[in-house]
């Protein structure tokens, strides 16, 4: 399967909150939220997180990032894929 056409959705066991200027993801594992192991997202990370609804493909998310941010297409494609792989590795998203 072409990576660009893959879709991911957010794991509902990851709580997303914007607190002051910080975007926070709190994983809930075995019904416990461990505040010693939360994640912070930068602005672009939070933008991508918002798009991971199981409907948008990776290429559509890349296009959305390109419309909003000042970066080259190759950089965006590489970094969006790397970021989603990181989210996948910690269990924050799952592939549809």
Among the listed residues 6, 96, 12, the one whose alpha carbon sits nearest the alpha carbon of residue 60: 6
Instruction: Count how many residues are written for the chain.
Output: 96
| Choice from 15, 91, 95, 96 touching other proteins (CB under 8 A) | 15
Choosing from 7, 9, 11, 47, the residue that interacts with other proteins (CB under 8 A) is 47
Residue 24 within binding range of other proteins, rule CB under 8 A: yes
Least separation in angstroms between residue 79's CB and other proteins is 5
Residue 28 and residue 13: Cα distance in Å, rounded? Answer: 5
Binding to other proteins, residues 63-82 (CB under 8 A): 65, 67-71, 75-76, 79-80, 82
Q: Among the candidate windows 3-11, 22-30, 52-60, which touches other proteins by CB under 8 A? A: 22-30
């Amino acid at each position: 399967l072409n990576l660009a056409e893959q879709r991911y959705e957010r794991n509902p066991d990851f709580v997303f909150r914007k607190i002051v200027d910080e975007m926070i993801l709190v994983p809930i594992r075995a019904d416990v939220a461990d505040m010693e192991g939360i994640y912070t997202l930068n602005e672009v990370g939070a933008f991508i997180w918002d798009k991971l609804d199981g409907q948008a493909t990776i290429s559509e998310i890349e296009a959305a990032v390109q419309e909003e941010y000042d970066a080259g297409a190759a950089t965006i494609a590489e970094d969006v894929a790397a970021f989603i792989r990181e989210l996948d590795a910690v269990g924050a998203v799952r592939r549809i």
